[in-house]
Amino acid sequence: MIPEELRYTDEHEWVASKTEDLVRVGITDYAQQQLGDVVHVQLPEVGDRVEAGTGVGEVESTKSVSDLFAPLSGEVVAVNDALLEQTELLNSDPYGEGWLFEIRLDDPDALEALLDADAYQALTAG
């Protein structure tokens, strides 16, 4: 199931609008299934400036280590500290309690350039 209200990246991250210029970022259910059991997460820090498409952290699983990328440019204003103690939240609730970080956007309109649910469905189906 791919939530319709979210936007997506080619890197299997989701983006949820919280306010006009604030978004929450996580990895998709598809991504967590491909990773397997997550054992470690490295997140950006509050106050970090991030640029769309650049690496901002890592997710380590029993299978591999995958980079996390900033889906949009802006400032990190929150991180999900619960993941540092409970990495399994990424597997059990990737669209809820397993969120990664929040960004205050430089350009709120950039959100529209991300994939919608139908486009993300097509990406993962092929």
- Map residue 87 onto helix, strand or coil: coil
Render pLDDT for 89-100 as a digit per residue (tens, 0 to 9): 999 999 999 999
pLDDT of residue 8: 98
HSE value, Cβ hemisphere, 13 Å, CA-based, for 97: 11
pLDDT of residue 65: 94
CA distance 25 to 31: 13
Render pLDDT for 37-80 as a digit per residue (tens, 0 to 9): 999 999 999 999 999 999 999 999 999 999 999 999 999 999 99
* The domain made up of 7-108 is a member of CATH 2.60.40.790: no
pLDDT of residue 1: 81
For the cut 90, the answer to whether the pLDDT of residue 111 exceeds it is yes
Indicate the pTM of the whole model.
0.95
Domain ranges of the chain: 7-108
Residue with tokens 């969120």: 99
Report how far apart, in Å, the C-alpha atoms of 38 and of each of 32, 80, 90, 94, 118 are: 8, 15, 7, 11, 27
Render pLDDT for 13-33 as a digit per residue (tens, 0 to 9): 999 999 999 999 999 999 999
pLDDT of residue 126: 73
CB 1 within 8 A of CB 9: no
pLDDT of residue 75: 98
CA distance 75 to 22: 10
